[in-house]
Amino acid sequence: MNAEFTQDAPLLDVQGLKTVIHLPDGAWPAVDGIDFTVQRGEVLGLVGESGSGKSVTGFSIVQLMDSPAEVIAGRVLFNNEDLRLASEERLRSLRGNRIAMIFQDPLMTLNPVLSIGEQMAEAILEHRDVGRQEALRAAADALVRVGISLPEARLRQYPHEFSGGMRQRVAIATAMLNAPDLIIADEPTTALDVTIQSQILFEVQKLARDSGTAVIWITHDLAVVAELADRVAVMYSGRIVEIGPVDEVLDRSRHPYTLGLLRSSAAMVEPGQRLNQINGMAPRIDARPSGCPFRTRCDRAMSICAEQDPTPTIDGRHGFRCHNPMPQRDAA
Amino acid sequence: MTADIETFAKTAEANTPLRMQVLRNIRNRPTASGAAIAIAILVLLALLAPVITPQNPYDLASLSVMDNRLAPGETGMTGITYWLGTDAQGRDMLSAILYGLRTSLLVGLTATAGALAIGSVAGLLAAHFGGAVDALLMRIVDFMLGFPSILVALILLSSIGRGVDKVVVAIMLVQWAQYARLMRAAALVERRKEYIEAALNFGLPTRHILLFHLLPNSIGSVLVVASISVASAITLEATLSFLGVGVPVTQPSLGLLIANGFEFLLSGQYWIAVFPGIALVLLVMSLNLLGDRLRRSFNVRGP
Amino acid sequence: MATYILQRLLQSAGVMLAVSVAVFFSVYGIGDPIELLVPPQAGAAERLELIQRLGLDQPAWQQYLTFMGNALHGDLGRSFAHGVPAVGLILSRLPATMELVLLALSLAVLVGVPLGLFAGLDPHGKPARLILACTVVGYSLPNFWKGMMLILLFSVLLGWLPTAERGETVTVLGIRTSLFTADGLRHLVLPALNLAIPNVALVIRLVATGTTDLMTQEFVKYARAKGVRPRRIVGRHVLRNILIPVVTVVGIEFGSLVAFSTVTETVFAWPGMGKLLIQSIYQLDRPVVVAYVMLATFLFISVNLLVDILYAALDPRVKLTGGAA
């Protein structure tokens, strides 16, 4: 399946989503009014530095934000149902069932005192009226699909008997158990070493393609996005500053921040070219500059950037928020 | 991500000096400041007991047996009004309680100070010398902590007999081990720091390093725990005295006063046991609340 | 596993040996038992005869060896006061004490775990703060004082429950117990409650902090992301983790409950081994005191070993192997 067949209604339509963090001195937006869609079977890369709000976005979609964070505005339409208005029980029945998540640190996400089998089977048993044996059989099948051999024996083991990479495979297998419509993967390969990372990327891509599952892949690594994603959204200071098809955004970047990220990424720079760090650090959530939040680090900043927040510019399927974007280039 | 939010929320209050934070912490807590005031009043009353009590409860000549077991507020043969009643010997309960408070505080504070001193020295030695000294001391500590303190004190007192000094010794013996363990842990952390390394290389005598460098820098958490342990020392003394193996009858503490009143509790003469009990409860609860607040403010884990 | 248990048994034997030395020399070594044992009106010959019979003319180490030799045969001396073997005397009081201790431990777990879970799930809410405030009162009040207040309230003022002593007993499986008679249970309520209160408080605090801490763990969030029902998250994911420290604490507290039963038994005139100990201390009945300590140590060590095995069964990360322990 791909986007062309289901133009009418996207699987996920996020509109004006805003999530704040309540601190003693006020509520500061971690996600500051973002809009994006995900089509069925599409892989969307959500990219940004730490603190850009990309993880908060992932958790806000499934309404899993705990105090001091709170989703305060926007709509999250999943299959045309606004998840912000859904009851807690309705959300529970969707989580892990229609929308599965994979967390960043596989060492922390599995309960150390419950067996792998129990933790995988519960993802089925909490959503479907099947027997325990059947759930365990499904779990064993899923383990085989992510390349874990001797699944029956593995299911009886506990998390500490698995390596980090193996645990993340367990998490991926668990996410696939109910054939969800959407998987939100929050930097799932960051904690792993490079070879395991690419194996896992390959597996997710294959699974998404085979089963038509859409994926939101949250990462700070543009190389991963280039390899995996159909479209990419670049986040900075709680906003999406550039969004579009992956080759558009990476090859013909319009936002200076995207370009900065590209130039500072070792894997994205031609051999022999210099690596450039973006000046300075991302501003703290409670110390964001006026106007465009990126202007203090931007070498293309003009006077208007301090006065006015740039509004989105749409160029076909490519959108960006910048007063002084990079000039448009023709495809090479 | 969640971690980001948490660290962020914490930095907000991280820039005030620790001492000010602790003070503010106590002042802002009605229970903690109430406890501090209660302790101050009780200590003052205990100190002033000989001046303010209507009767010296230890002076048997001043007691009138005719006035025994008078209810609170009654006036006796001698014309004294007994606001808290009298006990079986005709002793004024108010006077007895204030003197008992003196004994309880005396035992609690001396025993804690002694245990603190012994435990700190043992902990420092273990941390500084390591090896066999450490292994031996910590084995003894484990052994001591393996047994309920009340049982150890009870057995010890059963062989050495009762007496204020003996109770103090017994409580010291059961409490030093926890300080030794804490002190050792704190000193081990401290010892790895560069200034100790420098002092050692400089050839300063061991005693000097232990006393002037290691001790003052490691004792913080131990002192905080000691503030709570005063309460448990007082409770332990009261319990031992209640069981009849603690302080002697000639110098009754609150625990012994309660024990003396116990037999009259069932016949309705509640005041002989209940008033000293209230004093004890007030003292122990206040010490506990304040100590607990201190511990949390300094972020020290209990023993 | 077998190596581990063997190692632990050896360690336990070492501890028993150390305790026997400590208790023998502190109880027999300090003071002159002759003064206490020989009636004042006894003549010199009678006095000498008793000294020889008790072996008190031997050097201390030899006395100790004799004591240990007898101890290995299960003989810890005869009670001066009762004239019967000390071990048998204490064992005859064991069931009464165990009733109290086991009931108190059950109360601690059955009341402490649910209340702790409840308080830990919303630690800043009003009910949780009330529960946690009560636990401060619960563990900081002197045990004997709580017992007296329970008697004053429930027996003297309300007249609901008896003030003291053990109720009617029946023999079940060869043990005289008051657990199965109505009168026995009525007598058990207050002393068991009194013994349990500090432990209930301890378990509540332990479970509450544990729960609050666990609920912020990544694996709980992950379970929520899997759509696991809150009931199962608390009842399975959190509780399963909480049980590990609870079991450890219950094991440690078993010893202190036995020790504190001396206080509770004194307040409630409960005819258990704790009250026997206090009486023996009054009567300077040293063989009973020594035998009590040895038997109590044996009991503590056995329970600790049991708890460690249970611990390994509960925590898959722990393997019982020799060496490290």
User: Per the CB < 8 Å rule, is A55 touching B8?
Assistant: no
Give the mean pLDDT of chain C.
82
Mind listing the pLDDT tens digit for each residue in B250-259? 788 888 888 8
Is A59 a residue whose pLDDT tops 90? yes
Residues on chain B touching C141 (C-beta within 8 angstroms): 281, 284-285
Residues on chain A touching B1 (C-beta within 8 angstroms): 55-56, 59, 104, 186
The answer to whether residue B154 is domain-embedded is yes
Of B1, B2, B9, Cβ closest to residue A23: B9
Burial A304-324 (b: 16+ CB within 10 A, else e): ebeeeebeeeeeeebbbbbbe
User: Per the CB < 8 Å rule, is A113 touching C226?
Assistant: no
Is A303 a residue whose pLDDT tops 70? yes
A182-186/A99-102 β-pairing: parallel
Segments forming the whole domain that contains residue A241: 3-98+180-321
**Residue A123 touches chain C, beta carbons under 8 Å:** yes
Mind listing the pLDDT tens digit for each residue in A70-121? 999 999 999 999 999 999 999 999 999 999 999 888 888 999 999 999 999 9
Burial A241-275 (b: 16+ CB within 10 A, else e): bbbbbbebbbebbbbbbbbbbbbebeebeeeeeee
User: Per the CB < 8 Å rule, is A113 touching C222?
Assistant: no
Residue of A nearest to B1 (CA): A55
**Residue C123 touches chain B, beta carbons under 8 Å:** no
User: Per the CB < 8 Å rule, is B147 touching C255?
Assistant: yes
The answer to whether residue B82 is domain-embedded is no
Neighbours of chain A (3+ CB pairs under 8 A): B, C
Of B151, B239, B273, Cβ closest to residue C142: B239
Provide the number of structural domains found in chain B: 1
Burial B75-113 (b: 16+ CB within 10 A, else e): ebeeebebebbbbeebbbbbbbbbbbbbbbbbbbebbbe
CATH number for the domain that contains residue B171: 1.10.3720.10
The predicted model gives C285-313 an average pLDDT of: 84
Provide the number of structural domains found in chain C: 1
> Residue B269's pLDDT band (boundaries 50, 70, 90)?
confident
CATH number for the domain that contains residue A49: 3.40.50.300
Residues on chain C touching A160 (C-beta within 8 angstroms): 316-317
User: Per the CB < 8 Å rule, is A186 touching B1?
Assistant: yes
User: Per the CB < 8 Å rule, is C219 touching A100?
Assistant: no
Segments forming the whole domain that contains residue C126: 86-314
Q: How far apart are CA C325 and CA C321, in angstroms?
A: 7
Residue of B nearest to A64 (CA): B2
Name the strands in the sheet holding A99-102, side by side, starting at the edge strand that comes first in the sequence: A99-102, A182-186, A214-219, A43-47, A231-236, A239-245, A318-320, A313-315
Residues on chain C touching A56 (C-beta within 8 angstroms): none
**Residue B274 touches chain C, beta carbons under 8 Å:** yes
The answer to whether residue A129 is domain-embedded is no
Of A23, A55, A59, Cβ closest to residue B12: A23
The answer to whether residue A138 is domain-embedded is no
Mind listing the pLDDT tens digit for each residue in A251-263? 888 888 898 888 8
The answer to whether residue A315 is domain-embedded is yes
A239-245/A69-78 β-pairing: unpaired
The answer to whether residue A103 is domain-embedded is no
Provide the number of structural domains found in chain A: 1
Alpha helical stretches, state H, C122-181:
126-140, 143-150
CB atoms within 10 A of CB C27: 21
Residues on chain B touching A69 (C-beta within 8 angstroms): 5
Segments forming the whole domain that contains residue B23: 2-64+93-297
**Residue A188 touches chain B, beta carbons under 8 Å:** no
**Residue A187 touches chain B, beta carbons under 8 Å:** no
ipTM: 0.87
| Lowest mean per-residue pLDDT among B182-191, B205-214, C116-125 | B205-214
Is C38 a residue whose pLDDT tops 70? no
pLDDT of residue C47: 73
pLDDT of residue C191: 92
The answer to whether residue A292 is domain-embedded is yes
| Structure-token match 């609860």, residue found | B285
Count helices and strands in chain C by DSSP H and E runs: 13, 2
CATH number for the domain that contains residue C109: 1.10.3720.10
Residues on chain A touching C232 (C-beta within 8 angstroms): 122, 126
Q: Kindly give, in sequence order, each residue whose CB lies less than 8 Å from that of residue B158, ignoring residues fewer than 6 positions away.
A: B245, C27, C281, C289
The answer to whether residue A248 is domain-embedded is yes
- 3-state SS, residue A288: coil
Does the pTM surpass 0.90? The reply is: no
Is B155 a residue whose pLDDT tops 50? yes
pLDDT of residue A332: 42
Q: How far is A198 from chain B, CA to nearest CA, in Å?
A: 23
> Residue C304's pLDDT band (boundaries 50, 70, 90)?
confident
The answer to whether residue C241 is domain-embedded is yes
Neighbours of chain B (3+ CB pairs under 8 A): A, C
